[in-house]
Amino acid sequence: MPPQILSAAEAVARVPEGASILMGGFGLCGIPENLIKALARHGTRNLTVMSNNAGVADYGIGLLLAAGQVRAMVGTYVGENALLESMILNKQIEITLVPQGTFAERIRAAGAGIPAFFTPTGVGTMVAEGKDTRQFDGREYVMERALGADFAFVKAYRADRMGNLVYRRTTRNFNPMMATAGKITIAEVEEIVPEGSLDPEAIVTPGMFVDIVVRGEVYEKRIEKRTYRTTDRA
């Protein structure tokens, strides 16, 4: 079924208390910023958020953390959010840290109907504690389980009315896997275009994975580290 087209406020109103949500983005790049803002405004609590990072104190997922809406967080690197780091050290939030490639693959596996897989990442470290390990061709691997969620909030550049998504530059990151792994996937986009406007060869997320499309109203696209050069030398 082609996706519904809703406003950010209408879309996040579907998320119940206690829901788990996959949120795309790497740092602040490619995050569903309008959906996050709407969810903060809506005030839904007791959430489990699964995202590579946790935003910064006053933007992105940081808004949900600061408002006390997040019960548990699954991510790979939370160093940019000082608030979260102190919440972890003071045990105010349940945190699970996952190696980034394992995080990506667990989500991909969930969307692809694969319950578990073996990876060399993390063998012999804390990450492998309590998990099954197995030798294949003389090397040890650790078993990791698929990671899906009740909802996926993804950010794409454009959607057509079929829900097909294309991304821009490095905003793609975790968004395509997450789109496949949410029971309900909400795609926030900068522009909704008619069917036929997107090159079928270039579509990254086919519309089948997308339940709701939201056109983001305002894009701040905050930059974490604004680095630039002034001469031709790198």
Q: Which residues bind other proteins (CB under 8 A)?
A: 26-30, 52, 75-80, 85, 88-89, 95, 97, 99-105, 107-108, 119-127, 167-177, 204, 221-230, 234
Judge contact between 77 and 50, C-beta under 8 A. Answer: no
Nearer to other proteins, 52 or 164 (CB): 52
Q: What minimum distance in Å lies between the beta carbon of 171 and other proteins?
A: 5
Q: What minimum distance in Å lies between the beta carbon of 172 and other proteins?
A: 5
Nearer to other proteins, 19 or 177 (CB): 177
Q: What minimum distance in Å lies between the beta carbon of 63 and other proteins?
A: 18
Nearer to other proteins, 15 or 36 (CB): 36
Query: Alpha-carbon distance 207 to 187, whole Å?
Result: 10
Q: What minimum distance in Å lies between the beta carbon of 51 and other proteins?
A: 12
User: Burial, 44: exposed, middle or buried (Cβ in 10 Å; 0-12, 13-18, 19+)?
Assistant: buried
Paired tokens of 68: 């006390």
Nearer to other proteins, 194 or 233 (CB): 233
Q: Residue 114, SS3?
A: coil
Nearer to other proteins, 2 or 99 (CB): 99
Q: What is the 3-state secondary structure (H, E, C) of 48-76?
A: EEECCCCCECCECHHHHHHCCCEEEEEEC
Any idea which residue has 């390990």 for tokens?
Answer: 133
Query: Alpha-carbon distance 88 to 68, whole Å?
Result: 13
Q: Are strands 133-136 and 139-145 parallel, antiparallel or unpaired?
A: antiparallel
Q: What minimum distance in Å lies between the beta carbon of 33 and other proteins?
A: 11
Q: What minimum distance in Å lies between the beta carbon of 54 and other proteins?
A: 9
Nearer to other proteins, 66 or 204 (CB): 204
Query: Alpha-carbon distance 183 to 172, whole Å?
Result: 20
Q: Are strands 4-6 and 165-166 parallel, antiparallel or unpaired?
A: unpaired
